[in-house]
């Protein structure tokens, strides 16, 4: 089962880490942009190629250190069909290097629309299997069970997984997710209980479900409550590094076997060459990313495994 493969890879790499691939032109080294813009002009096709080349170089330097990457589809979609194609190529390349891919797509709609999203991102369309599907994707549950059900069906059919938004890392999450319900508990706890229930049919041999939850590193107290409420739910944890989360915030994530979560870092790794202790010349940007991964592994995995 997919969730078991993720846990095995975390154990093998000693790194409960997923590297977020959130390409922004301002973060990408000039030597990559200059070469491709000179060849293709300042066009969406050029930006898509820049994003792919950048991600490929990062993947080449970190794939042996971490179990997974998480490309953020919005960064690609803003450049239209060319950007979407670059996202698909990035997913395919990461998979070819043995990485588990978490597609950060945050889809959330109902009925046939959800089925269509799921067909592309997790399964197959009516006429062909999609060779560039991610292993997991992120989804938004705030339209209710019928917005999640089509994904659950494809997870069972194609051995895929979800990370469902429960308590996100952004400061504004409190505006909705912390609202107190009539029963006296916050909304995110109610959603967490639902996610745990939805995941029961997909629990693997290590006791975790392929239906996981997004729980931010910036909310340590809420994390502790959710871990107790959701003992069989694997957490995807954003907010480490650039958003202020650190290893000391995450002590409540792990079970007695040191499993239970995978922590995301995006800019802290891919932008490490630009500032901080791994700052270097831009041509060494991928090597700086590798050093940042090793530093994060020590902060997290080095204390666990």
* Res. 53 pLDDT band, cuts 50 70 90: very high
**pLDDT category, 85, cuts 50, 70, 90?**
very high
Longest dimension (CA), the chain: 61
Q: What is the DSSP string of 241-252?
A: STTSB-GGGGTT
Q: Is 81 exposed, middle or buried (0-12, 13-18, 19+ CB in 10 A)?
A: exposed
Q: For residue 292, what pLDDT band results from cuts at 50, 70 and 90?
A: very high
Note the pLDDT of residue 194: 97
Model pLDDT for residues 115-134, shown as the tens digit of each residue: 999 988 998 766 666 656 89
CA–CA gap between residue 86 and residue 72 (Å, rounded):
11
Q: What is the mean pLDDT of residues 65-93?
A: 96
Q: d(Cα 122, Cα 132) in Å, to the nearest integer?
A: 9
Q: Are 187 and 176 in contact (CB under 8 A)?
A: yes
Q: How many helices (H) and strands (E) does the chain have?
A: 13, 8
C-beta of residue 284 within 8 angstroms of C-beta of residue 273: yes
Q: Which residues pair with 167 in a beta bridge?
A: 215
Task: Convert the pLDDT of each residue in 10-35 to its tens digit.
Answer: 999 999 999 999 999 999 999 999 99
Contact call for residues 142 and 108 (beta carbons, < 8 A): yes
Angle at 35 (CA atoms; ends 32, 40), nearest 5 degrees: 115
Given a contact cutoff of 8 angstroms between Cβ atoms, the answer to whether 247 and 271 are in contact is no
Answer yes or no: is pLDDT of 57 > 70: yes
Which ranges constitute the DSSP H helices of the chain? 2-13, 30-40, 44-62, 73-77, 80-96, 111-121, 149-158, 174-177, 187-198, 220-229, 267-270, 285-299, 301-304
| pLDDT for position 128 | 64
Average pLDDT over residues 175-187: 88
The model's confidence at residue 247, banded by pLDDT at 50, 70 and 90, is low
Q: What is the pLDDT of residues 204-228, one digit of tens each?
A: 999 999 999 999 988 888 888 899 9
Q: Which domains does the chain have, with CATH numbers?
A: 2-300 (3.20.20.70)
Q: Which residues are catalytic?
A: 106
Q: Is the pLDDT of residue 255 over 90?
A: no
pLDDT of res. 244: 53
pLDDT (tens digit per residue) in 142-173? 899 999 999 999 999 999 999 999 998 888 88
Instruction: Give the pair of three-digit tokens for residue 131.
Output: 């060779």
CA distance 195 to 174: 19
Please tell me the predicted confidence (pLDDT) of residue 302.
60
pTM of the model: 0.94
Please give the average per-residue pLDDT across 299-303, as a whole number: 69
What is residue 305's predicted lDDT score, i.e. its pLDDT?
A: 56
């Amino acid at each position: 089962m997919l969730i078991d493969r993720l846990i095995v890879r975390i154990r093998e790499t000693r790194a409960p880490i997923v590297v977020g691939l959130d390409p922004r032109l301002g973060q990408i080294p000039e030597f990559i942009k200059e070469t491709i813009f000179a060849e293709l002009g300042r066009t969406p096709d050029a930006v898509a190629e820049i994003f792919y080349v950048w991600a490929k170089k990062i993947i080449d330097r970190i794939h042996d250190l971490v179990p997974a990457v998480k490309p953020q589809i919005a960064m690609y979609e803003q450049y239209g069909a060319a950007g979407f194609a670059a996202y698909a190529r990035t997913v395919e390349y990461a998979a070819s290097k043995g990485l588990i891919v978490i597609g950060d797509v945050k889809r959330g709609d109902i009925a046939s629309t959800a089925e269509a999203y799921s067909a592309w991102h997790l399964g197959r369309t009516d006429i062909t299997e999609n060779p560039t599907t991610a292993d997991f994707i992120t989804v938004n549950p705030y339209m209710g069970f019928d917005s999640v059900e089509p994904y659950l069906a494809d997870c069972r059919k194609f051995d895929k997984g979800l990370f469902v938004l429960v308590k996100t890392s952004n400061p504004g999450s409190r505006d909705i997710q912390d609202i107190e319900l009539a029963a006296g508990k916050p909304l995110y706890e109610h959603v967490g209980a639902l996610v745990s229930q939805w995941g029961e049919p997909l629990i693997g041999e290590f006791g975790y479900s392929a239906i996981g939850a997004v729980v931010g590193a910036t909310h340590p107290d809420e994390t502790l409550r959710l871990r107790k409420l959701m003992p069989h739910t694997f957490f995807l944890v954003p907010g480490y590094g650039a958003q202020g989360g650190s290893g000391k915030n995450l002590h409540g994530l792990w079970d007695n076997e040191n499993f239970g979560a995978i922590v995301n870092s995006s800019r802290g790794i891919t932008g490490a060459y630009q500032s901080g202790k791994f700052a270097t010349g831009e041509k060494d940007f991928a090597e700086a990313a590798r050093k940042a991964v090793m530093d994060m592994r020590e902060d997290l995995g080095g204390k666990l495994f």
